[in-house]
Amino acid sequence: MLPEFTQEGNLPVGIHQATEAEVLSRFASGSARRKWLGGRLHDLLEIAKFTGKLERAFLWGSFVTNKESPNDLDVLLVVAADFDLEQLREDCRGLFTYAQARIRFNADVFWAKVSIGQETLNLWLDTYQVGKDLRRRGIVEVVIL
């Protein structure tokens, strides 16, 4: 279960696990913008799972706050060590190309192979927990089912 927002409108510091259904229920309701972004997130995760190589997914930024009209989606996909972009179907490959993902999903999609190691992943996740105001905030790990 996702925790309540802080007074600043963020999740408490830390990495909070939630299923995709929980994420969409909590963050893709209310405003039309949230609903639209929730649809993009669902589509994005479906393609990532379709590859058969998705191991972890993280969300941060305005979408996982109480902001009525979030800017976009901020996503990190962690894929299997044997992930090969060239082996993906063309319609899936765009998710892993920054500019194409930005246009198609209104998302800043970053990705890495699990082989980067936990230490490097922890550094990335620590960075994503710092907002533009330089305050720490929580992020979400979408549990991959």
| Domain CATH for 30 | 3.30.460
Q: Decide if pLDDT at 129 tops 90.
A: yes
Q: Decide if pLDDT at 145 tops 90.
A: no
Q: Is this model's pTM higher than 0.85 or not?
A: yes
138 part of a folded domain: yes
95 part of a folded domain: yes
pLDDT band with cut points at 50, 70 and 90 for residue 91: confident
Query: What total number of domains does the chain contain?
Result: 1
pLDDT band with cut points at 50, 70 and 90 for residue 110: very high
Q: Which domain holds residue 35?
A: 14-143
Interatomic CA distance for residues 16 and 25, integer angstroms? 15
Q: Decide if pLDDT at 84 tops 90.
A: yes
| Residue 6 near residue 136, CB atoms below 8 Å | no
4 part of a folded domain: no
